[in-house]
Chain A
Amino acid sequence: MKLRNVEFIIQESFTGIWRNGLMAFASISTIALSLGVLGAFVMAALGATHFARTQIGQFQIAVFMRGEANRSRTDDVASQIRKMTGVGSVEVRDRDQEWLDFKRQHPNIDSAGLPTNVLPYAMDVKVSDPNKLPTIASKVRVLGGVDTVIEGRETFHRVMAVAKVVSIVSVAGAIMLLVTTAFIISNAIRLTLYARRREIRIMQLVGATNRFIRLPLFIEGIVFGTAGALVAWCLLRLGSMYLAHAVERITPLLGRASSGVEPSALAVYLVITGAAIGAVGSMVSIRRFLTD
Protein backbone atom coordinates (compact mmCIF):
# COMPACT_ATOMS: atom_id res chain seq x y z
CA MET A 1 0.00 0.00 0.00
CA LYS A 2 1.34 3.40 -0.97
CA LEU A 3 2.37 5.91 1.69
CA ARG A 4 -0.19 8.50 0.64
CA ASN A 5 -2.92 5.90 1.08
CA VAL A 6 -1.73 5.07 4.59
CA GLU A 7 -1.66 8.79 5.36
CA PHE A 8 -5.19 9.21 4.02
CA ILE A 9 -6.53 6.23 5.94
CA ILE A 10 -5.11 7.45 9.25
CA GLN A 11 -6.36 10.96 8.53
CA GLU A 12 -9.82 9.62 7.69
CA SER A 13 -9.94 7.54 10.88
CA PHE A 14 -9.32 10.56 13.06
CA THR A 15 -11.46 13.08 11.18
CA GLY A 16 -14.15 10.42 11.29
CA ILE A 17 -13.89 10.24 15.07
CA TRP A 18 -13.73 14.04 15.34
CA ARG A 19 -16.66 14.80 13.07
CA ASN A 20 -18.90 12.13 14.54
CA GLY A 21 -18.04 13.48 17.96
CA LEU A 22 -21.27 12.61 19.69
CA MET A 23 -21.22 9.07 18.32
CA ALA A 24 -17.60 8.71 19.40
CA PHE A 25 -18.51 9.92 22.87
CA ALA A 26 -21.37 7.44 23.05
CA SER A 27 -19.17 4.54 21.94
CA ILE A 28 -16.28 5.40 24.20
CA SER A 29 -18.47 5.88 27.25
CA THR A 30 -20.34 2.63 26.57
CA ILE A 31 -17.06 0.77 26.25
CA ALA A 32 -15.68 2.52 29.36
CA LEU A 33 -18.71 1.61 31.45
CA SER A 34 -18.87 -2.01 30.28
CA LEU A 35 -15.16 -2.54 30.78
CA GLY A 36 -15.42 -0.72 34.10
CA VAL A 37 -18.12 -3.08 35.35
CA LEU A 38 -16.20 -6.09 34.06
CA GLY A 39 -12.97 -4.81 35.60
CA ALA A 40 -14.62 -4.04 38.93
CA PHE A 41 -16.08 -7.52 39.05
CA VAL A 42 -12.81 -9.20 38.17
CA MET A 43 -10.97 -7.07 40.72
CA ALA A 44 -13.51 -7.85 43.43
CA ALA A 45 -13.31 -11.56 42.61
CA LEU A 46 -9.51 -11.48 42.61
CA GLY A 47 -9.60 -9.51 45.85
CA ALA A 48 -11.82 -12.12 47.49
CA THR A 49 -9.62 -14.97 46.26
CA HIS A 50 -6.53 -13.09 47.38
CA PHE A 51 -8.06 -12.50 50.80
CA ALA A 52 -9.07 -16.13 51.15
CA ARG A 53 -5.60 -17.23 50.15
CA THR A 54 -3.89 -14.99 52.70
CA GLN A 55 -6.25 -16.30 55.37
CA ILE A 56 -5.38 -19.85 54.40
CA GLY A 57 -1.69 -18.97 54.68
CA GLN A 58 -2.34 -18.05 58.27
CA PHE A 59 -3.65 -21.47 59.19
CA GLN A 60 -1.47 -22.88 61.78
CA ILE A 61 -1.34 -25.56 64.38
CA ALA A 62 -0.39 -24.70 67.93
CA VAL A 63 1.54 -27.52 69.60
CA PHE A 64 1.92 -27.56 73.39
CA MET A 65 4.46 -29.88 75.01
CA ARG A 66 3.93 -31.72 78.24
CA GLY A 67 5.15 -29.95 81.39
CA GLU A 68 8.10 -32.31 81.81
CA ALA A 69 9.39 -31.92 78.26
CA ASN A 70 12.57 -29.85 78.15
CA ARG A 71 14.03 -27.61 75.46
CA SER A 72 16.00 -30.32 73.67
CA ARG A 73 12.98 -32.62 73.60
CA THR A 74 10.99 -29.74 72.11
CA ASP A 75 13.62 -29.00 69.45
CA ASP A 76 13.63 -32.68 68.57
CA VAL A 77 9.85 -32.67 68.01
CA ALA A 78 10.15 -29.46 65.99
CA SER A 79 12.68 -31.01 63.62
CA GLN A 80 10.46 -34.10 63.21
CA ILE A 81 7.52 -31.89 62.27
CA ARG A 82 9.65 -29.93 59.80
CA LYS A 83 10.29 -33.15 57.85
CA MET A 84 6.56 -33.79 57.28
CA THR A 85 5.13 -32.94 53.87
CA GLY A 86 2.89 -29.90 53.70
CA VAL A 87 4.61 -28.15 56.59
CA GLY A 88 5.69 -24.56 55.85
CA SER A 89 7.54 -23.55 58.98
CA VAL A 90 7.87 -24.49 62.63
CA GLU A 91 8.66 -21.88 65.19
CA VAL A 92 9.34 -22.71 68.80
CA ARG A 93 7.92 -20.02 71.04
CA ASP A 94 10.24 -18.08 73.32
CA ARG A 95 9.09 -19.44 76.68
CA ASP A 96 10.89 -16.83 78.78
CA GLN A 97 9.42 -13.97 76.82
CA GLU A 98 5.95 -15.51 77.11
CA TRP A 99 6.36 -15.81 80.85
CA LEU A 100 7.39 -12.14 81.10
CA ASP A 101 4.36 -11.13 79.03
CA PHE A 102 2.15 -13.35 81.14
CA LYS A 103 3.40 -11.75 84.34
CA ARG A 104 2.96 -8.27 82.94
CA GLN A 105 -0.65 -9.04 82.04
CA HIS A 106 -1.30 -10.64 85.39
CA PRO A 107 0.69 -8.56 87.92
CA ASN A 108 -0.53 -10.56 90.93
CA ILE A 109 1.00 -13.83 89.70
CA ASP A 110 3.83 -13.71 92.20
CA SER A 111 1.46 -13.40 95.12
CA ALA A 112 -0.45 -16.42 93.76
CA GLY A 113 2.61 -18.52 94.50
CA LEU A 114 3.96 -19.06 91.02
CA PRO A 115 7.47 -17.71 91.24
CA THR A 116 9.02 -19.72 88.39
CA ASN A 117 8.05 -20.25 84.77
CA VAL A 118 5.26 -22.80 84.63
CA LEU A 119 4.45 -22.44 80.94
CA PRO A 120 4.98 -25.50 78.79
CA TYR A 121 7.18 -25.39 75.74
CA ALA A 122 5.10 -24.64 72.66
CA MET A 123 5.54 -24.17 68.94
CA ASP A 124 3.57 -22.81 65.97
CA VAL A 125 3.41 -24.94 62.85
CA LYS A 126 2.45 -23.19 59.61
CA VAL A 127 1.21 -25.34 56.76
CA SER A 128 2.03 -24.71 53.15
CA ASP A 129 -0.88 -26.83 51.93
CA PRO A 130 -4.05 -26.10 53.88
CA ASN A 131 -5.64 -29.37 52.75
CA LYS A 132 -2.98 -31.36 54.65
CA LEU A 133 -3.71 -29.55 57.91
CA PRO A 134 -5.86 -32.31 59.51
CA THR A 135 -3.34 -35.04 58.61
CA ILE A 136 -0.41 -33.09 59.95
CA ALA A 137 -2.30 -32.33 63.17
CA SER A 138 -3.04 -35.99 63.82
CA LYS A 139 0.57 -37.00 63.08
CA VAL A 140 1.91 -34.36 65.47
CA ARG A 141 -0.51 -35.44 68.17
CA VAL A 142 1.18 -38.88 68.53
CA LEU A 143 4.76 -37.57 68.74
CA GLY A 144 6.48 -38.16 72.08
CA GLY A 145 6.23 -35.32 74.56
CA VAL A 146 3.36 -33.59 72.80
CA ASP A 147 0.49 -32.71 75.07
CA THR A 148 -2.07 -30.76 73.11
CA VAL A 149 -2.55 -29.86 69.45
CA ILE A 150 -4.93 -27.06 68.51
CA GLU A 151 -5.76 -26.86 64.82
CA GLY A 152 -8.78 -24.60 64.39
CA ARG A 153 -10.49 -27.09 62.11
CA GLU A 154 -13.86 -25.31 62.19
CA THR A 155 -12.59 -22.00 60.86
CA PHE A 156 -10.46 -23.79 58.34
CA HIS A 157 -13.38 -25.65 56.81
CA ARG A 158 -15.54 -22.56 56.73
CA VAL A 159 -12.92 -20.44 55.01
CA MET A 160 -12.11 -23.17 52.48
CA ALA A 161 -15.80 -23.49 51.59
CA VAL A 162 -16.16 -19.75 51.16
CA ALA A 163 -13.02 -19.59 49.01
CA LYS A 164 -14.37 -22.34 46.77
CA VAL A 165 -17.73 -20.61 46.30
CA VAL A 166 -15.99 -17.30 45.64
CA SER A 167 -13.79 -18.75 42.92
CA ILE A 168 -16.65 -20.59 41.18
CA VAL A 169 -18.94 -17.57 41.29
CA SER A 170 -16.24 -15.24 40.06
CA VAL A 171 -15.22 -17.40 37.11
CA ALA A 172 -18.84 -17.89 36.01
CA GLY A 173 -19.63 -14.23 36.56
CA ALA A 174 -16.55 -13.04 34.68
CA ILE A 175 -17.44 -15.19 31.67
CA MET A 176 -21.02 -13.92 31.62
CA LEU A 177 -19.88 -10.33 31.97
CA LEU A 178 -17.26 -10.74 29.26
CA VAL A 179 -19.91 -12.01 26.83
CA THR A 180 -22.24 -9.17 27.76
CA THR A 181 -19.46 -6.63 27.43
CA ALA A 182 -18.47 -7.91 24.00
CA PHE A 183 -22.12 -7.72 22.93
CA ILE A 184 -22.65 -4.19 24.25
CA ILE A 185 -19.45 -2.95 22.68
CA SER A 186 -20.08 -4.52 19.27
CA ASN A 187 -23.53 -2.96 19.39
CA ALA A 188 -22.05 0.46 20.12
CA ILE A 189 -19.66 0.04 17.20
CA ARG A 190 -22.48 -1.05 14.94
CA LEU A 191 -24.29 2.16 15.81
CA THR A 192 -21.32 4.31 14.84
CA LEU A 193 -21.06 2.37 11.60
CA TYR A 194 -24.77 2.85 11.00
CA ALA A 195 -24.28 6.58 11.45
CA ARG A 196 -21.65 6.40 8.71
CA ARG A 197 -23.44 4.06 6.32
CA ARG A 198 -23.83 6.92 3.83
CA GLU A 199 -20.12 7.41 3.70
CA ILE A 200 -19.53 3.67 3.33
CA ARG A 201 -22.11 3.48 0.52
CA ILE A 202 -20.46 6.34 -1.35
CA MET A 203 -17.04 4.78 -0.95
CA GLN A 204 -18.41 1.58 -2.46
CA LEU A 205 -20.02 3.45 -5.36
CA VAL A 206 -16.92 5.38 -6.36
CA GLY A 207 -14.96 2.13 -6.40
CA ALA A 208 -13.05 2.07 -3.12
CA THR A 209 -11.74 -1.40 -2.37
CA ASN A 210 -13.13 -3.13 0.70
CA ARG A 211 -9.77 -2.89 2.37
CA PHE A 212 -9.78 0.86 1.91
CA ILE A 213 -13.24 1.10 3.48
CA ARG A 214 -12.43 -1.26 6.29
CA LEU A 215 -9.12 0.11 7.53
CA PRO A 216 -10.21 3.52 8.86
CA LEU A 217 -13.16 1.91 10.62
CA PHE A 218 -10.90 -0.78 12.01
CA ILE A 219 -8.49 1.83 13.37
CA GLU A 220 -11.47 3.70 14.77
CA GLY A 221 -12.62 0.57 16.59
CA ILE A 222 -9.21 0.10 18.16
CA VAL A 223 -9.00 3.76 19.18
CA PHE A 224 -12.48 3.60 20.74
CA GLY A 225 -11.65 0.39 22.59
CA THR A 226 -8.38 1.78 23.92
CA ALA A 227 -9.88 5.12 24.94
CA GLY A 228 -12.76 3.36 26.68
CA ALA A 229 -10.32 1.07 28.48
CA LEU A 230 -8.28 4.02 29.73
CA VAL A 231 -11.39 5.76 31.05
CA ALA A 232 -12.45 2.50 32.71
CA TRP A 233 -8.99 2.21 34.27
CA CYS A 234 -9.24 5.71 35.77
CA LEU A 235 -12.68 4.89 37.19
CA LEU A 236 -11.44 1.61 38.66
CA ARG A 237 -8.34 3.21 40.19
CA LEU A 238 -10.39 5.92 41.85
CA GLY A 239 -13.01 3.41 42.97
CA SER A 240 -10.54 0.93 44.41
CA MET A 241 -8.56 3.65 46.20
CA TYR A 242 -11.73 4.93 47.80
CA LEU A 243 -12.84 1.41 48.74
CA ALA A 244 -9.46 0.50 50.20
CA HIS A 245 -9.60 3.54 52.46
CA ALA A 246 -13.14 2.78 53.49
CA VAL A 247 -12.32 -0.84 54.34
CA GLU A 248 -9.28 0.22 56.31
CA ARG A 249 -11.38 2.67 58.30
CA ILE A 250 -14.16 0.22 59.06
CA THR A 251 -12.11 -2.89 59.85
CA PRO A 252 -8.51 -1.97 60.62
CA LEU A 253 -7.77 -5.61 61.47
CA LEU A 254 -8.08 -6.72 57.87
CA GLY A 255 -5.38 -4.33 56.78
CA ARG A 256 -5.36 -2.79 53.32
CA ALA A 257 -7.86 -4.54 51.09
CA SER A 258 -6.13 -5.47 47.88
CA SER A 259 -7.00 -7.36 44.75
CA GLY A 260 -3.39 -8.35 44.38
CA VAL A 261 -3.40 -6.74 40.89
CA GLU A 262 -0.85 -4.04 40.16
CA PRO A 263 -2.44 -0.85 38.72
CA SER A 264 -0.05 -0.89 35.77
CA ALA A 265 -0.89 -4.53 35.01
CA LEU A 266 -4.59 -3.69 35.28
CA ALA A 267 -4.13 -0.89 32.73
CA VAL A 268 -2.38 -3.26 30.33
CA TYR A 269 -5.10 -5.93 30.66
CA LEU A 270 -7.87 -3.41 30.19
CA VAL A 271 -6.26 -1.77 27.16
CA ILE A 272 -5.59 -5.14 25.53
CA THR A 273 -9.18 -6.26 26.18
CA GLY A 274 -10.59 -2.93 24.99
CA ALA A 275 -8.50 -2.77 21.83
CA ALA A 276 -9.21 -6.41 21.00
CA ILE A 277 -12.94 -6.04 21.49
CA GLY A 278 -12.89 -2.81 19.48
CA ALA A 279 -10.99 -4.44 16.63
CA VAL A 280 -13.09 -7.61 16.52
CA GLY A 281 -16.34 -5.68 17.02
CA SER A 282 -15.66 -3.28 14.17
CA MET A 283 -14.51 -6.10 11.85
CA VAL A 284 -17.67 -8.11 12.47
CA SER A 285 -19.95 -5.12 12.03
CA ILE A 286 -18.18 -3.87 8.88
CA ARG A 287 -18.42 -7.29 7.31
CA ARG A 288 -22.19 -7.03 7.55
CA PHE A 289 -22.18 -3.65 5.88
CA LEU A 290 -19.90 -4.65 3.06
CA THR A 291 -21.82 -7.73 2.05
CA ASP A 292 -24.94 -5.65 1.34
Chain B
Amino acid sequence: MIHLENVSVEYPNGVRALKDVSISIYKGEFIFLVGSTGSGKSTFLSLLYRGMLPTQGKVVVDGEDITSLKPSAVPYLRRKLGIVFQDFKLLPQKNVWENMAFALRVIGTDPREIRRRIGDVLELVGLTHRCDSFPHQMSGGEQQRAAIARALINHPTLLIADEPTGNLDPATSWEIMQLLEQINVRGTTVLVATHDSQIVDRMKKRVIQLEAGVVVRDVNKGMYEHCEA
Protein backbone atom coordinates (compact mmCIF):
# COMPACT_ATOMS: atom_id res chain seq x y z
CA MET B 1 0.00 0.00 0.00
CA ILE B 2 2.63 2.54 1.12
CA HIS B 3 6.39 2.18 0.74
CA LEU B 4 8.87 4.84 1.75
CA GLU B 5 12.40 4.15 0.55
CA ASN B 6 15.24 6.19 2.09
CA VAL B 7 13.09 9.27 2.27
CA SER B 8 14.58 12.52 3.51
CA VAL B 9 12.91 15.90 3.66
CA GLU B 10 14.83 19.08 4.16
CA TYR B 11 13.01 22.38 4.37
CA PRO B 12 14.44 25.47 2.65
CA ASN B 13 15.36 26.86 6.08
CA GLY B 14 17.68 23.88 6.59
CA VAL B 15 15.49 21.93 9.01
CA ARG B 16 15.64 18.20 8.27
CA ALA B 17 12.12 16.97 8.98
CA LEU B 18 12.73 13.35 7.92
CA LYS B 19 16.04 11.53 7.79
CA ASP B 20 16.42 8.46 5.62
CA VAL B 21 13.07 6.93 6.50
CA SER B 22 12.19 3.52 5.03
CA ILE B 23 8.92 1.92 5.96
CA SER B 24 6.17 -0.27 4.51
CA ILE B 25 2.48 -0.16 5.33
CA TYR B 26 0.22 -2.90 4.01
CA LYS B 27 -3.32 -2.93 2.75
CA GLY B 28 -5.93 -3.09 5.51
CA GLU B 29 -3.60 -2.07 8.34
CA PHE B 30 -4.51 0.39 11.11
CA ILE B 31 -1.48 2.40 12.10
CA PHE B 32 -0.73 5.03 14.70
CA LEU B 33 2.01 7.47 13.88
CA VAL B 34 3.26 8.92 17.17
CA GLY B 35 5.97 11.30 18.27
CA SER B 36 6.38 14.68 19.87
CA THR B 37 5.64 17.92 18.09
CA GLY B 38 8.18 18.57 15.35
CA SER B 39 9.14 14.91 15.07
CA GLY B 40 8.06 14.83 11.42
CA LYS B 41 4.57 13.27 11.63
CA SER B 42 2.80 15.91 9.56
CA THR B 43 5.63 15.93 7.03
CA PHE B 44 5.32 12.15 6.75
CA LEU B 45 1.57 12.38 6.10
CA SER B 46 1.79 15.24 3.63
CA LEU B 47 4.30 13.23 1.56
CA LEU B 48 1.59 10.64 1.05
CA TYR B 49 -0.94 13.00 -0.53
CA ARG B 50 1.74 14.99 -2.37
CA GLY B 51 1.34 17.98 -0.08
CA MET B 52 5.12 18.14 -0.58
CA LEU B 53 7.92 16.31 -2.35
CA PRO B 54 10.79 14.57 -0.55
CA THR B 55 14.29 15.96 -1.02
CA GLN B 56 15.49 12.38 -1.48
CA GLY B 57 14.00 8.94 -1.81
CA LYS B 58 10.91 7.29 -3.22
CA VAL B 59 7.30 7.37 -2.00
CA VAL B 60 5.04 4.64 -3.38
CA VAL B 61 1.32 4.87 -2.72
CA ASP B 62 -1.05 2.20 -4.05
CA GLY B 63 1.64 0.82 -6.35
CA GLU B 64 2.57 4.18 -7.85
CA ASP B 65 5.75 6.20 -7.28
CA ILE B 66 4.14 9.53 -6.49
CA THR B 67 7.39 11.48 -6.41
CA SER B 68 7.50 11.29 -10.19
CA LEU B 69 3.85 12.27 -10.59
CA LYS B 70 3.13 15.20 -12.88
CA PRO B 71 1.37 18.10 -11.10
CA SER B 72 -1.69 17.56 -13.30
CA ALA B 73 -1.95 13.97 -12.02
CA VAL B 74 -1.91 14.95 -8.34
CA PRO B 75 -5.70 15.55 -8.09
CA TYR B 76 -6.30 11.98 -9.29
CA LEU B 77 -3.98 10.61 -6.59
CA ARG B 78 -5.94 12.55 -3.97
CA ARG B 79 -9.23 11.12 -5.16
CA LYS B 80 -7.98 7.71 -4.01
CA LEU B 81 -7.21 9.08 -0.54
CA GLY B 82 -9.34 10.36 2.31
CA ILE B 83 -7.73 13.09 4.39
CA VAL B 84 -8.88 14.26 7.83
CA PHE B 85 -7.42 17.12 9.85
CA GLN B 86 -7.49 18.33 13.41
CA ASP B 87 -9.40 21.49 12.38
CA PHE B 88 -11.98 19.53 10.31
CA LYS B 89 -11.64 21.83 7.28
CA LEU B 90 -15.37 22.07 6.62
CA LEU B 91 -16.74 24.96 4.60
CA PRO B 92 -18.49 27.20 7.14
CA GLN B 93 -21.09 28.55 4.70
CA LYS B 94 -22.22 25.11 3.59
CA ASN B 95 -24.26 22.62 5.61
CA VAL B 96 -23.18 19.00 6.11
CA TRP B 97 -24.96 17.75 3.03
CA GLU B 98 -23.54 20.57 0.88
CA ASN B 99 -20.05 19.98 2.24
CA MET B 100 -20.28 16.35 1.13
CA ALA B 101 -21.78 17.29 -2.23
CA PHE B 102 -19.08 19.91 -2.81
CA ALA B 103 -16.34 17.29 -2.49
CA LEU B 104 -18.06 15.18 -5.12
CA ARG B 105 -19.11 17.94 -7.48
CA VAL B 106 -15.60 19.36 -7.75
CA ILE B 107 -14.49 16.04 -9.17
CA GLY B 108 -17.43 15.95 -11.57
CA THR B 109 -19.64 13.25 -10.01
CA ASP B 110 -23.16 12.71 -11.33
CA PRO B 111 -25.82 14.37 -9.07
CA ARG B 112 -27.84 11.16 -8.67
CA GLU B 113 -24.69 9.32 -7.65
CA ILE B 114 -23.93 12.14 -5.20
CA ARG B 115 -27.29 11.77 -3.45
CA ARG B 116 -26.85 8.04 -3.10
CA ARG B 117 -23.30 8.21 -1.77
CA ILE B 118 -23.99 10.97 0.74
CA GLY B 119 -26.88 9.00 2.18
CA ASP B 120 -24.66 5.93 2.63
CA VAL B 121 -21.71 7.71 4.15
CA LEU B 122 -23.75 9.85 6.56
CA GLU B 123 -25.38 6.71 7.82
CA LEU B 124 -21.97 5.12 8.37
CA VAL B 125 -20.72 8.03 10.49
CA GLY B 126 -24.11 8.46 12.22
CA LEU B 127 -24.91 11.96 11.01
CA THR B 128 -28.02 11.33 8.92
CA HIS B 129 -30.11 13.48 11.27
CA ARG B 130 -27.60 16.36 11.03
CA CYS B 131 -27.41 16.71 7.28
CA ASP B 132 -29.05 20.17 7.29
CA SER B 133 -26.82 21.56 10.04
CA PHE B 134 -24.06 24.07 9.45
CA PRO B 135 -20.64 23.44 11.02
CA HIS B 136 -21.07 26.16 13.67
CA GLN B 137 -24.29 24.48 14.86
CA MET B 138 -22.51 21.20 15.61
CA SER B 139 -20.20 19.91 18.33
CA GLY B 140 -16.54 19.22 17.59
CA GLY B 141 -17.21 15.49 17.49
CA GLU B 142 -20.00 15.94 14.99
CA GLN B 143 -17.86 18.19 12.84
CA GLN B 144 -15.09 15.61 12.81
CA ARG B 145 -17.63 12.93 11.84
CA ALA B 146 -18.71 15.15 8.98
CA ALA B 147 -15.09 15.59 7.91
CA ILE B 148 -14.56 11.83 8.06
CA ALA B 149 -17.72 11.31 6.04
CA ARG B 150 -16.36 13.66 3.40
CA ALA B 151 -13.03 11.81 3.38
CA LEU B 152 -14.85 8.52 2.86
CA ILE B 153 -17.16 9.65 0.13
CA ASN B 154 -14.84 8.59 -2.70
CA HIS B 155 -14.35 5.12 -1.23
CA PRO B 156 -10.66 5.76 -0.58
CA THR B 157 -8.26 2.88 -0.20
CA LEU B 158 -6.27 4.90 2.33
CA LEU B 159 -7.57 7.22 5.05
CA ILE B 160 -5.02 9.67 6.43
CA ALA B 161 -5.86 11.46 9.68
CA ASP B 162 -3.61 14.18 11.09
CA GLU B 163 -4.39 14.60 14.82
CA PRO B 164 -8.09 13.89 14.27
CA THR B 165 -8.88 14.07 17.99
CA GLY B 166 -6.60 16.99 18.84
CA ASN B 167 -9.54 19.33 19.47
CA LEU B 168 -11.85 16.82 21.15
CA ASP B 169 -12.52 15.65 24.70
CA PRO B 170 -11.51 12.07 25.65
CA ALA B 171 -14.99 10.54 25.34
CA THR B 172 -15.59 12.07 21.92
CA SER B 173 -12.05 11.15 20.84
CA TRP B 174 -12.76 7.55 21.71
CA GLU B 175 -15.95 7.62 19.61
CA ILE B 176 -14.06 9.03 16.65
CA MET B 177 -11.38 6.32 17.00
CA GLN B 178 -14.03 3.64 17.08
CA LEU B 179 -15.50 5.08 13.92
CA LEU B 180 -12.03 4.96 12.30
CA GLU B 181 -11.63 1.35 13.43
CA GLN B 182 -15.01 0.50 11.96
CA ILE B 183 -13.90 2.05 8.68
CA ASN B 184 -10.69 0.00 8.85
CA VAL B 185 -12.67 -3.19 9.40
CA ARG B 186 -14.51 -2.48 6.15
CA GLY B 187 -11.18 -2.68 4.32
CA THR B 188 -9.76 0.84 4.24
CA THR B 189 -6.15 1.28 5.32
CA VAL B 190 -6.12 3.86 8.14
CA LEU B 191 -3.12 5.95 9.16
CA VAL B 192 -3.56 8.18 12.19
CA ALA B 193 -1.02 10.68 13.51
CA THR B 194 -1.75 11.39 17.16
CA HIS B 195 -0.56 12.63 20.52
CA ASP B 196 -3.25 10.79 22.42
CA SER B 197 -1.40 8.14 24.43
CA GLN B 198 -4.53 6.76 26.11
CA ILE B 199 -6.13 5.96 22.81
CA VAL B 200 -2.99 4.40 21.37
CA ASP B 201 -2.56 2.22 24.44
CA ARG B 202 -6.18 1.13 24.42
CA MET B 203 -6.45 0.30 20.70
CA LYS B 204 -3.35 -1.90 20.53
CA LYS B 205 -2.53 -1.32 16.87
CA ARG B 206 0.73 -1.07 14.97
CA VAL B 207 2.63 1.96 16.26
CA ILE B 208 5.30 3.84 14.32
CA GLN B 209 7.20 6.34 16.42
CA LEU B 210 9.14 9.22 14.92
CA GLU B 211 11.66 11.30 16.81
CA ALA B 212 13.56 14.13 15.15
CA GLY B 213 12.77 12.77 11.71
CA VAL B 214 13.90 9.22 12.41
CA VAL B 215 11.75 6.10 12.95
CA VAL B 216 12.74 5.03 16.44
CA ARG B 217 10.12 2.34 16.96
CA ASP B 218 7.80 0.24 14.80
CA VAL B 219 5.85 -2.39 16.73
CA ASN B 220 2.61 -4.31 16.34
CA LYS B 221 0.03 -4.05 19.15
CA GLY B 222 2.16 -1.27 20.54
CA MET B 223 1.80 1.30 23.29
CA TYR B 224 2.33 5.05 23.03
CA GLU B 225 5.49 5.06 25.12
CA HIS B 226 8.19 2.49 24.78
CA CYS B 227 8.28 0.56 28.08
CA GLU B 228 11.44 -1.29 29.00
CA ALA B 229 10.42 -4.37 30.97
Contact = CB atoms under 8 A, between A and B. Distances in A.
Nearest to B93: A19
Interface in A153-178: none
A205 B75 CA distance: 8
Given A19-B93, A199-B91, A210-B75, A205 B108 contact: no
Nearest to B110: A4
Contact of A207 (B79, B89, B102): B79
Nearest to A8: B105
Interface in A172-213: 198-199, 201-210, 212-213
Given A202-B89, A205-B83, A212 B78 contact: no
Interface residues of B, number: 23
A207 B154 contact: yes
B72 interface: yes
B103 interface: yes
A207 B107 contact: yes
B15 interface: no
25 contacts: A2-B108, A198-B91, A199-B91, A202-B89, A202-B91, A202-B103, A203-B106, A205-B49, A205-B78, A206-B79, A206-B102, A206-B103, A206-B106, A206-B107, A206-B150, A207-B78, A207-B106, A208-B107, A209-B72, A209-B107, A210-B71, A210-B72, A212-B106, A212-B107, A213-B106
Given A202-B102, A205-B89, A206-B103, 15 more contacts: A198-B89, A198-B91, A204-B75, A205-B49, A205-B78, A205-B83, A206-B79, A206-B107, A206-B150, A206-B154, A207-B75, A207-B79, A207-B154, A212-B107, A212-B108
Interface of A: 2, 4-5, 8, 19, 198-199, 201-210, 212-213
